[in-house]
Amino acid sequence: MWIPVAIFLAACIIIALVRVFLGPTVPDRIVGLDTINTIVIVIMVILGAAFKEVILIDVAIVYALLSFVTTLFIAKYIEKGKF
Which residues here bind another protein, judged by CB under 8 A?
A: 1-2, 5, 8-9, 12, 15-16, 18-19, 25-28, 30-32, 34-35, 38-39, 41-42, 45-46, 48-49, 52, 54, 57-58, 60-61, 64-65, 67-68, 71-72, 74-76, 78-81
Q: What is the dihedral of CA 17, 6, 50, 2, to 10 degrees?
A: 160
Query: CB of residue 60 vs another protein: minimum separation in angstroms?
Result: 5
Provide, rounded to whole angstroms, the least separation between the CB of residue 26 and another protein: 8
**Least distance (Å) from another protein to the CB of residue 24?**
9
The answer to whether 62 touches 69, Cβ cutoff 8 Å, is: no
Q: Is 25 left (phi over 0), alpha (psi -120 to 50) or beta?
A: beta
Q: Give the end-to-end CA distance of the chain in Å, rounded to a whole number.
A: 46
